[in-house]
Chain A
């Protein structure tokens, strides 16, 4: 029994090591996929092994002591009353201090390394945290999208992070976070985190924070808001889509284009009419139409994305209909408040129109 107690934490440490290699965790911070996440990993791994070593030394010592000096039947008398040993105590004060100095040096250098401004070709993206979705604005490319951050492979992406609130739609569009400081409204704190590409950075109302990420391989890297931000915090997710350079350039070209106008008389044309004359236009923008509000996600190329609602639902006609019927039923507390609710007919035509926004 006694041995078992010491084995429990040891077993857990082993399980931790084993599980660190689990291949199916898509947000695994232990599988970095870019240089910034790697810098963190290269620091964490040695610290982890030092900690593991200390763990086994201390727990081993504890185990040894409780076994070696356990009370044995028949033992008489009282052990000698040792009150301490100054030399020993000074030693075990200095030894951990030295280990910590060894840990502190690379820590500090990595702090500064990660905070350094990038040089060379850098993609600038403003990340704007809303309750509960992410807006991605590319100020140099004139692209605005949501929930999916598309980046080129192998290039540092310099993120400027800021928060926007419910009062956001009353203000001019931000080209970068500088303007957003005007339109904080009731915004709350979020935290941008895509574990395989970098650490977290909080998104704080009234401040502009920065974070560097980079992906070295093409792929989809899930991330999510890591600071509790209210009712649907768990559903404030996003994806970083890393594409080869040429694909990325093509994507930018597509995003810069205006939305196509549906042919007259089609169901989609009815939907466009509904969009521009109904409630949608109050919060959403569709480039190439009169819709230019910025409270909600920009829908110009909605169908070029794979997910919506904080990237927790795949985009499909069925899911869009479900959403339009009652956003609050899908997402607790959603700021998309339809009053009055849309009719089935309106929903049908609106979804038909949205499906044309490629």
Chain B
């Protein structure tokens, strides 16, 4: 520290002084507050959600009738590729990251994450990667070989389209890896006194599993993307069979990442649902340990099922059998979770708030995705189903009916905490119903379309296939979803038109984040809570008599009053990490390096200089006073 303060006091110190703004534009650029970073993640992910949704609508318009003429083949291929990339890497992952960033410190009773500036960097690197990929639309064409980027198509197609894919995903991969390390360390090391691992909320457990999945899965795709980059840019032959390479190698690399990725996308939503159901059923989660261990089991087994994406590749009956069995095995812990959620509802006192409706919708729809998933494990059936709309239906039931519904549940549930405002319950319910109806109208018929022989990723289909009717229904459903999303935006904007009305604990919830004010102060808790049990907040509010009757603990007992945290003038003595310009500066270097690799090498040199300058400033800046 001594040398740092010397620098700060010396002639060059002015450049290294830390920013101090707490409001306005620069406060957002320089923030290292996990709550603000979470909000940035969420807001950005929602913008990408709108873009990816518009791409989906264009796809559905093109397919509404046979021989569609809305999009050219090139435009169609770019849009379905970008729809996949956007929804996976720029929507569901960062939206989950938004919840993790915002909630992990609050739910474990910490003041921030372990590495606040690294946390800021992950957001800016994610944004840089997303903008970089989307800039391809203006620089010669967007990625067009599918989100799965199968070689050799992805390496022999002319144009820079897939270079943007490889480089952009490397950037978002840097963001996700750094974030995963950061959040894992946070969960493992920064829990409040008394919060043992088995007193952590299930959302935190699922968060931990997801971060560890990311830590182990992302390096695999990173290597694969570098191989693709090298094949395209430097003439290597990793995936070129004519020179001894192997296209199937890419598929193994991609899916060895890609299947854990599925759980990376859906476990956060499972965690959210596991928080929401107990609160609105007014009962603890049924079989907490079972749910936790099934999540851990899913994390482990998730690395052993990747080749079920490749049953038609020709790996042979032995490999196909092995992966069929492992895929069926992973269905068991998933089923366990469903039954435990049902057990949570059993004998509850269920309140149908909007977050609860989305959570119940999640269960109802995830069951469909799970069951169709089991039919894929039946390898011969998958010979028919793979690469058809049946698969499209399946994973949208998992990722929209599951993940997105779960995330919406989380949005409605934690919005009051994040912004201090309740969302309109009446409109929220309308939004839930329109989304559920639109979703099932869109993706339900796709099961039929796939079984009736409609392959994926086709720009058009002839009338002779007899697929018109259900395609039209699916397109109609897509617009119902769009209307529902628009309604959500209205609800969100309306909430800001009114004064803050959310109490610290508006849902009578069970976990620590509801002990502090809504929204929480910068330092989260005036006093770090001491945790004595699972569902700590609930136990501070209620006690069970010996016969199991639940009684309120009188206010002022060991409970918490409203505004426990965040009162004016409170918390001044608490040390908080200071804001910094450098995470942002460092992230600016990444896309410059990317453009350099694609266009002109000098740009990459500039990018490296910017990145190093950011890292240097980051390392050398003084700690905040």
| Interface set of A (CB-CB < 8 Å, partner B) | 1-2, 5-6, 8-9, 12, 15-16, 19-20, 22, 24-30, 37, 39-40, 43-44, 47-48, 51, 54-55, 58-59, 61-62, 65-66, 69-71, 75, 77-86, 88-89, 92-93, 96-97, 100, 103-104, 107-108, 110-112, 114-115, 165, 181, 184-189, 191, 193, 195, 198-202, 204-207, 209-210, 222, 224-234, 312, 332-333
Contact = CB atoms under 8 A, between A and B. Distances in A.
B381 A84 contact: no
A193 B454 CA distance: 11
Contacts of A51: 371-372, 374-375
Given A55-B367, A66-B360, A80 B347 contact: yes
Contact of A100 (B281, B331, B386, B464): B331
Given A69-B347, A93-B332, A19 B386 contact: no
Contacts of A22: 448, 452, 466
B271 interface: no
Interface of B: 72-74, 77, 145-146, 150, 152-153, 156-157, 241-242, 246-248, 281-284, 286-290, 312-314, 316-317, 320-321, 324-325, 328-329, 331-332, 335-336, 338-340, 342-343, 345-352, 360-361, 363-365, 367-368, 371-372, 374-375, 377-388, 433, 436-437, 440, 444-445, 447-448, 451-462, 464-467, 470, 542, 544, 548-550
Contacts of A188: 150, 152-153, 156
A85 B181 CA distance: 35
B346 A69 contact: yes
A341 B156 CA distance: 26
Given A25-B453, A100-B331, A312-B462, A82 B347 contact: yes
A108 B324 CA distance: 8
Contact of B316 (A37, A70, A85, A115): A115
B348 A26 contact: no
Contacts of B246: 206
Given A9-B365, A84-B287, A228-B456, A78 B467 contact: no
Contacts of B351: 71
A89 B385 CA distance: 33
A24 B455 contact: no
Contacts of B378: 43-44, 47, 103, 107
B451 A30 contact: yes
Given A47-B374, A187-B152, A111 B361 contact: no
Given A82-B286, A107-B380, A200-B383, A227 B150 contact: yes
27 contacts: A9-B440, A15-B444, A51-B371, A55-B371, A61-B342, A62-B363, A66-B350, A78-B349, A79-B281, A80-B347, A82-B283, A85-B286, A88-B343, A93-B290, A93-B336, A103-B374, A111-B317, A115-B317, A165-B156, A193-B455, A200-B383, A202-B312, A205-B152, A226-B456, A233-B457, A234-B73, A234-B458
Nearest to A182: B242
B350 A28 contact: no
B336 A89 contact: yes
Given A79-B282, A79-B283, A234-B73, A84 B343 contact: yes
A82 B544 CA distance: 11
A5 B467 CA distance: 27
Nearest to A93: B336
The 7 closest A-B pairs by CB, nearest first: A199-B383, A206-B241, A27-B453, A24-B466, A12-B444, A84-B287, A234-B458
B394 to A, nearest CB: 12
Contact of B282 (A25, A78, A189, A207): A78
B150 A189 contact: yes
B368 A8 contact: no
B550 A80 contact: yes
A110 B380 contact: yes
Contacts of A37: 384
A80 B281 CA distance: 11
A110 B380 CA distance: 7
B350 A83 contact: no
A332 B283 contact: no
Nearest to B351: A71
Contacts of B343: 82, 84-85, 88-89
B387 A232 contact: no
Residue with the highest number of chain A CB atoms closer than 10 Å, among B325, B335, B548: B335
A56 to B, nearest CB: 10
A40 B548 contact: no
Given A83-B288, A93-B332, A20 B448 contact: yes
B483 to A, nearest CB: 17
B321 A111 contact: yes
A61 B246 CA distance: 49
Nearest to A65: B345
Contacts of B461: 234
A8 B448 contact: no
Contacts of A230: 77, 145, 153, 157
B346 A234 contact: no
A8 B436 contact: yes
A53 B378 CA distance: 17
B288 A96 contact: no
Contact of B73 (A8, A40, A92, A332): A332
A69 B280 CA distance: 11
Nearest to B452: A25
Contacts of A6: 364
Contacts of A97: 332
Contacts of A8: 436-437, 440, 444
Contacts of B436: 5, 8
Most buried by A among B152, B379, B453, B454: B453
A92 to B, nearest CB: 4
A69 B361 contact: no
A119 to B, nearest CB: 17
Contact of A103 (B284, B328, B347, B466): B328
Contacts of B282: 78-79
Given A44-B384, A79-B347, 6 more contacts: A2-B352, A15-B448, A19-B452, A69-B350, A111-B324, A230-B157
Contacts of B157: 230
A29 B451 contact: yes
